[in-house]
């Protein structure tokens, strides 16, 4: 069986699955249950300075569902821990003492003043925690007070605070990034410049999940009003994957350890984050939806997959897909594929036809007895039919071999790689190497 043990910036854990800083890691009771269930580590819910903050006393979460009410996205307006600092510190110490093999990272958020950080860091260090994560991501509530994403949106602040932390503690410093920014590379570069050991991302996305059409208030609604919250869960995974990849392939931040966060629900999601450069993953919504036991599927799935592929360590997986993430302009324009419909597995729902006929390229024909076939002369291989087909594997995109005629253009498939940078339609095209 593959060894899932990880060493992330010197923090060891038996597997790469950590619980993210969030409601599931707010208390000793929860964290002990998590460790008993098999989680490799936790990032304790964000601590602040006393007096502790208060939360709303109405709903804290809103949701988006898919078919059969499967939770696809969760939004929260909960703030950082609402318990006294000393209670949290005491509990962190007790849990770490009892679970020395698990990663114990403590999330922190205090005002942007050096003294505030100087005050809290030794207190955390005293618990025996393995590291700290700077919460520069929370998009709601705390940001109005100049913390959370208010810091994360200003690279200079990130760099400054990261530097303070590195000066005032021996613990590894992970900077948690907000996605509520135009280009994720800037805060990542700032974190690195400040000396941070790693970044973790993404924090939640600013969001309103729904509107109550009776009361005309956003959900979750507190006494008739709603406030934007932070969106997470499977729905944000694509956003997170891209941001992780952006940092992993940026020349300035390449090699900076990344803890991947954002909609990790299964072993496969975790493997994808790893492949795009993460050294481990953090999970919250999946645990909040299904309970701590989900980690068992993640551990066994990842392990099984690694065995199948012959990977012996998580580090071996980490970053393997990064070289294949590129800019659009470098995509091979001579690569030609066509949709293929497997008639044996087709259930004749016609969704591919509707999608193609109404919204795409009229490249699927429909016979009176509901046989759906691809018209190669029209098919641009857009993949929409694959995406809307309810039967996995029924429609596939098959590349044409070099030399084969693309019936759409009437031209043979060129075996050579050629991209937009050299395309004659590109006004800024550079001439092929002379």
Partner 1 sequence: MSNTPLTPGVVAGRLSPEEYDRNFGDAYPPLDEHEALVAADRCYFCHDAPCIAACPTEIDIPLFIRQIQTGMPQAAGRTIFDQNILGGMCARVCPTETLCEGACVREAAEGKPVKIGQLQRFATDTVMAKDAHPFRRAPATGRVIAVVGAGPAGLACAHRLAMHGHDVVVMDGRDKPGGLNEYGIATYKTPGGFAQAEVEWLLRIGGITVKTGVRLGRELALAELREDHDAVFLGIGLAGVNALRAEGEAHDHVHDAVDFIADLRQATDKRRIAVGRRVVVIGGGMTAVDAAVQAKLLGAEHVTMVYRRTRERMGASAHEQLHAVSKGVQIITGAAPVRILGDGAVTGVEFAYTAEGKQGLTTAGESFVVPADQVFKAIGQKLEAAPGGLDLDGAKIAVTGPGRTSLAGVWAGGDCAIGGDDLTVTAVKEGRDAAEDIHATLMGAATVAAQ
Active site residues: 138
Task: Kindly state the smallest distance separating residue 394's Cβ from partner 1, in Å.
Answer: 10
Binding residues among 228-257 for partner 1 as defined by CB under 8 A: none
Which span sits near partner 1 by CB under 8 A: 8-16, 61-69, 94-102, 413-421?
Answer: 61-69
Task: Kindly state the smallest distance separating residue 351's Cβ from partner 1, in Å.
Answer: 6
Residue of 51, 224, 390, 415 that binds partner 1 (CB under 8 A): 390
Which span sits near partner 1 by CB under 8 A: 29-37, 64-72, 234-242, 330-338?
Answer: 64-72
Task: Kindly state the smallest distance separating residue 374's Cβ from partner 1, in Å.
Answer: 16
Q: Taking Cα atoms as reference points, which of 217, 226, 204 lies closest to residue 152?
A: 204
The yes or no reply on residue 69 touching partner 1 (CB under 8 A) is yes
Task: Kindly state the smallest distance separating residue 201's Cβ from partner 1, in Å.
Answer: 33
Residue 208 corresponds to which tokens in the numbers above? 């309103």
Beta carbon nearer to partner 1, 68 or 223: 68
Cβ-based neighbours of 269, under 8 Å, separated by 6 or more? 234, 237, 263, 281
Beta carbon nearer to partner 1, 296 or 345: 345
User: Is 78 within 8 Å of 23 (Cβ atoms)?
Assistant: yes
DSSP designation for 204: P
The yes or no reply on residue 67 touching partner 1 (CB under 8 A) is yes
Beta carbon nearer to partner 1, 390 or 410: 390
The yes or no reply on residue 371 touching partner 1 (CB under 8 A) is no
The yes or no reply on residue 375 touching partner 1 (CB under 8 A) is no
Task: Kindly state the smallest distance separating residue 383's Cβ from partner 1, in Å.
Answer: 18
Beta carbon nearer to partner 1, 73 or 229: 73
- The pairs formed by 388-395 with CB atoms below 8 angstroms and a separation of 24 or more are 388/351, 388/352, 388/355, 389/349, 389/351, 389/352, 390/347, 390/349, 390/351, 391/345, 391/346, 391/347, 393/342, 393/345, 394/341, 394/342, 394/345, 394/346, 394/347, 395/339, 395/340, 395/341, 395/342, 395/352
Residue 342 corresponds to which tokens in the numbers above? 């497997």
The yes or no reply on residue 353 touching partner 1 (CB under 8 A) is yes
Q: Report the distance separating Cα 149 and Cα 27, nearest Å.
A: 24
What is the pattern of x (binds partner 1, CB under 8 A) and - over residues 313-352?
Answer: ----------------------------------xxxxx-
Q: Report the distance separating Cα 360 and Cα 202, nearest Å.
A: 33
Q: Report the distance separating Cα 307 and Cα 295, nearest Å.
A: 18
Residue of 225, 309, 370, 411 that binds partner 1 (CB under 8 A): 370
Task: Kindly state the smallest distance separating residue 235's Cβ from partner 1, in Å.
Answer: 18
Which span sits near partner 1 by CB under 8 A: 65-73, 85-93, 172-180, 237-245?
Answer: 65-73
Residue of 391, 402, 405, 429 that binds partner 1 (CB under 8 A): 391
Applying CB under 8 A, what is the total number of residues that bind partner 1?
A: 14
The yes or no reply on residue 14 touching partner 1 (CB under 8 A) is no
Beta carbon nearer to partner 1, 96 or 351: 351
In which region does residue 383 sit, left (phi positive, over 0), alpha (psi from -120 to 50) or beta (all else)? left
- Identify the bridge partners of residue 175 per DSSP, sorted by sequence position: 134, 199
Beta carbon nearer to partner 1, 24 or 62: 62
E strands, 314-394, in order: 337-341, 364-366, 372-374
Task: Kindly state the smallest distance separating residue 393's Cβ from partner 1, in Å.
Answer: 13
E strands, 262-369, in order: 280-283, 337-341, 364-366
- Which is it for the CA torsion 182, 287, 100, 122, positive or negative? positive
294-309 helix and 267-275 helix, angle to the nearest 10 degrees = 50
The yes or no reply on residue 366 touching partner 1 (CB under 8 A) is yes
Beta carbon nearer to partner 1, 337 or 349: 349
Residue 424 corresponds to which tokens in the numbers above? 């004659």
Task: Kindly state the smallest distance separating residue 63's Cβ from partner 1, in Å.
Answer: 15
Beta carbon nearer to partner 1, 366 or 397: 366
Q: Taking Cα atoms as reference points, which of 328, 110, 108 lies closest to residue 200?
A: 108
E strands, 67-207, in order: 71-76, 103-108, 131-135, 173-176, 198-201, 205-207
Residues lying near partner 1 in the complex (CB under 8 A) are found at 67-69, 347-351, 353-354, 366, 370, 390-391
């Amino acid at each position: 069986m593959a060894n899932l043990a990880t060493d992330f910036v010197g923090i060891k854990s038996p597997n790469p699955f950590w619980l993210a800083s969030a409601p599931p890691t707010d208390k000793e009771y929860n964290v002990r249950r998590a460790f008993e269930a098999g989680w490799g580590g936790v990032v304790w819910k964000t601590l602040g300075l006393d007096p502790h903050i208060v939360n709303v006393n109405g709903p804290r979460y809103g949701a988006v569902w898919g078919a059969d009410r499967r939770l696809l996205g969760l939004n929260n307006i909960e703030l950082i821990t609402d318990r006294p600092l000393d209670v949290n510190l005491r509990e962190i110490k007790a849990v770490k003492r009892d679970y020395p093999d698990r990663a114990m990272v403590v999330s922190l958020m205090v005002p942007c003043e050096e003294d505030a950080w100087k005050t809290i860091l030794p207190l955390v260090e005293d618990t025996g925690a393995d590291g700290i994560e700077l919460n520069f991501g929370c998009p709601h509530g705390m940001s109005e007070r100049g913390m959370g994403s208010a810091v994360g949106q200003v690279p200079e602040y990130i760099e400054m605070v990261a530097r303070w932390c590195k000066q005032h503690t021996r613990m590894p410093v992970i900077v948690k990034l907000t996605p509520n920014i135009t280009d994720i590379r800037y805060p990542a570069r700032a974190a690195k410049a400040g000396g941070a050991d790693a970044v973790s991302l993404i924090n939640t996305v600013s969001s309103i999940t729904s509107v109550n059409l009776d009361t005309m208030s956003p959900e979750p609604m507190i006494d008739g009003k709603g406030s934007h919250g932070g969106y997470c869960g499977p729905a944000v995974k694509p956003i997170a994957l891209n941001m992780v990849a952006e940092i992993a392939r940026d020349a300035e931040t390449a090699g900076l350890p990344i803890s991947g966060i954002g909609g990790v629900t299964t072993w496969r999601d975790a493997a994808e984050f790893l492949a795009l450069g993460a050294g481990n993953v953090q999970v919250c919504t999946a645990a909040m939806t299904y309970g701590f036991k989900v980690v068992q599927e993640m551990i066994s799935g990842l392990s099984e997959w690694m065995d199948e592929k012959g990977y012996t360590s998580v580090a071996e997986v980490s970053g393997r897909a990064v070289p294949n993430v590129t800019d659009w302009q470098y995509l091979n324009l001579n690569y030609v594929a066509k949709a293929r419909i497997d008639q044996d597995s087709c259930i004749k729902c016609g969704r591919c036809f509707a999608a193609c006929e109404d919204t795409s390229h009229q490249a699927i024909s429909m016979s009176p007895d509901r046989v759906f076939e691809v018209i190669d002369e029209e098919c641009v291989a857009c993949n929409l039919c694959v995406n809307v087909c309810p039967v996995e594997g029924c429609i596939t995109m098959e590349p044409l071999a070099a030399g084969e005629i693309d019936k759409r253009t009437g031209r043979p498939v060129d075996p050579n790689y050629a991209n937009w940078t050299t395309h004659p339609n590109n006004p800024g095209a550079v001439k092929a190497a002379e």
